[in-house]
Each structure stands twice: as structure tokens, then as C-alpha cells.
Structure 1
């Protein structure tokens, strides 16, 4: 009976690990060397090594990046990938790693959303785009405009934008793929918008059919004219195995 239990336990652990890790890889980020950050912290724990810290992150479906302090062996897991170095704290012998997958969007500044096996990024262009142009930009990268169908996903995206902005995007708006052309707010895949988080007083006009996440409202939802030029967040989903 004891031997049977041990074998069964090993099978369960092996299956769980394979499911959670999803073949995600970690990449060291030299731009954050000897720095640490507290935003979107999931867990802080002592670990035996940076490898153990990496496995801890890969085993947590929410984790997409981590700091490891070599002198204290502190492992710090985070739910977003950092690019802004605002609000960092000096921390000698600290390295920062982000999880990534090869199918993700091109360029370095992307963020995994592992709950849905997707990744997303905003495009910090020198010019802004209207709604249809934004759709086309995402399609160019074999992606789609961001849909935030759940509060959990929305909070994940909002935390990322709040961490990245620090005044950089004052008055900026980011299109999301929700539009009201028929009296009903629909996502771009024609499913109804069941979850919303409009800012106070929004939506404010019957003539504004598109939706943005607006910096002035701490990235709560705002209705906007679809011809208005905004920024865009594109999302790409992991290809399904054949």
C-alpha cells in the first residue's frame, strides 16, 4: 500500500508540473541589474538557488517575472513584466528575469498572461491610430486588439499600465476591442461585453461607439469616437497544438 501511494503521488506531481510549467523559458534582464521592485508582488520567499526561484515562478500560473537576490537567496515573484525603472530600489547582487515564449509578439516589451496562454504589448509609436488602423496594426503582427472579458484579466492589464506610466502617458488612451454599433456593446469576436469598468460619468455620449482605457481615469474604461487617434494594445494567443 505504501509503495502504491508513493508511485501515485509521483505521477500526480509529474502531471501537475508539466501542466503548470507550459515549457516557458526565463530570460535575464540586464537593465534591472542590482535593482528590485515591489509592484504586483505575488510571493517573496527564500530559495536554495536562482534555479529554484525560476521553477517556483514557472509553477505559479500567475507569475511572469521574478527577482533573485544572490546574497540573501530572496526569490520575489511578480504577475507582470517590468520595463519602467521608476520606483526601483537599489539591491546589490540582484538579477531580474522574465518568462517568455517563442510564439509571443515581436520585440522585447511584451507581457505574458499565462492564465489564457496569451501575451500582449502596447505599441509606443510616435503617432497615434484610430480604431480601424489599430485593428490593422494588430493584424500585421498576427495578433488581435486586446479584449478584457474578465475582471481578473482587466486588473492584470491595468496594473501593468499603471506601473509603466508614471506620467509618461498623460492623457493617453488605449483602444480595447469593444464597440457599440448596434446599441449593444460587443467584443470584436461578436460576443457580448458582460464585464465593464467605466469611469464615473462614462459612457458620456451616444456618438462615441468605441472604448479605451484612459490614463486620466487610472485606466478605467472610457467611451470615445472611433475616429479619434489613440494608442493600442495587441494580444496574441499561443497556437494550439496540432
Structure 2
């Protein structure tokens, strides 16, 4: 076998593997099967679009090479590779598009098989839970998955989560609880890992009640923070810390 044939065989084998899930260096390319033959056409979350990309491997390389790339669409008939900075979760936001596949970029330490998403610039591994529960149950669910309620410790983290939550219709108008509360000491917010909250992102007029000691990202505040009673049932965000 000459060198060219060897390279071509390697490309074919890679593409056969990647149509399910495949390891790629330190990352994982995972097909999002419910988006097969669908394409999200909104420009808001597109970070790059390349043409004349004749192989899925080259599209994957482009995404892995761009640290902000979270997902990609590969249009095999027109040879288009479309990179996004979020993972889409609602197929109703996509148009029908034959010969199209959608992939999530993730890493081995972030359990994508449990629905977690990784944002590589921040080593941020997170998951939305749309079921509405009180804080105590939300904490238990995150713990059962090996994580904690999500910590939004800076503006960069907020901006990414904002983009993610706004990108899909099914979650765009829902509140999500995060891991900041002052249950231990009133007026002293702490994160789920016990560290003090040093950066805040309260909506105007919040926090508003002394009895509301937990925190949510409220959709009607464009996901800025809103204080809520810890017994109030609301969706929540879990986070797994990178080892």
C-alpha cells in the first residue's frame, strides 16, 4: 500500500467511526442523531462556516482547532462545514436539510452520555435539567451525576450560558437555578463548592426579599440573577468540575 492509499484509508476509517462516536486526540466527536437531516440556519451562534470541505474529518479538525467550537453541522452534498459556539437542543429550531449531520464536540472527563456539554475555553462541563424542583432535590440530582449546582463565577461563564440558553426555543423561556445561596449565613452568598461569591449579576431590583435565599437565572431578566425561595420549584443547571 502506498502512502496516499494509506492516508485515504485512514480518512475512510475515521469517518466510519465518527458516524457514531469517536475519540479524537483529547476530545470526542459525538453525533446528535435527532438532528440528522436538519440544519439550524440562524446566524447568531455561528462562529465559522467553511466551503469546499469534502470530508467530515476536515470539518472535525476545524472544530477541534477552534476552542470555542461546541458543535458542527456537516453538509456532505454541498461540502459545507458550519461551526457553532453552543449545542442546540430543540429540533424545531432547525430546518429540514438532507445529507446533513450534527455533532457535539466534548471531552472524556465530561459525561456527554449523561447529557453534559463542555465549553473548552473555560473547562466548563454543564447540563440543564428542565424538571422543576426545589433546591434540595436539585442538589441531590447534581450529586448523583457527580456534580454540583452550576457556578457562574464570572462574566465569561455567564455569557456562554446565556448564549446556550437563548439558542433553543424549549429552554429560552425557562428559569434555571444555580449554585449560589446564603443559607449558611444570611447576606453572605456562597457557591456550591463553598467559595464566596465575589462576582454577581443581579437583575435590576434584585435581590428583593430576605426570605429568598437561593438564586436562579431568570429568563424574563435575560438570564440575569433573581433571588428565589429555596423551596420554589424551578429548573436547574448542574456542573461537573474537571479533575
TM-score when normalising by structure 2: 0.79
Partner of residue 32, structure 2 = 29
Counterparts in 2 of 1:95 and 1:169: CA distance versus 1, 3 Å? closer
After superposition, the C-alpha distances for 1:143-183 in whole angstroms (9 at most, x for unaligned) are 111001121111111222222344x675x421111112332
Partner of residue 232, structure 2 = 228
User: Conserved in 2, the CA contact under 8 Å of 1:27 and 1:99?
Assistant: yes
Q: How does 1:1-242 map to 2 (within 5 A)?
A: 23-37=26-40, 38=42, 39-46=44-51, 47-105=53-111, 107=113, 109-125=115-131, 128-166=132-170, 170=173, 172-180=174-182, 181-239=185-243
Question: How many residues end up aligned between the 2 structures?
Answer: 215
CA distance in structure 2 between the partners assigned to 1:174 and 1:192 by the alignment: 20
After superposition, the C-alpha distances for 1:13-68 in whole angstroms (9 at most, x for unaligned) are xxxxxxxx761111222321222113421111123421111011111111111011
CA distance in structure 2 between the partners assigned to 1:238 and 1:68 by the alignment: 29
Q: Secondary structure at the match of 1:97?
A: strand
Which stretches of structure 1, 4 residues or longer, exceed 4 Å deviation after superposition? none
Bigger mean CA offset, 225-234 vs 99-108? 99-108
Q: Secondary structure at the match of 1:55?
A: helix
User: Conserved in 1, the CA contact under 8 Å of 2:93 and 2:168?
Assistant: no
Partner of residue 10, structure 1 = none
TM-score when normalising by structure 1: 0.79
User: Conserved in 2, the CA contact under 8 Å of 1:105 and 1:120?
Assistant: no
Kindly report the root-mean-square deviation, in angstroms, between the aligned alpha carbons of the 2 structures: 2.2
CA distance in structure 2 between the partners assigned to 1:122 and 1:199 by the alignment: 21
Q: Secondary structure at the match of 2:205?
A: coil
Q: Secondary structure at the match of 2:197?
A: coil
Structure 1, unpaired ranges of 5+: 1-20
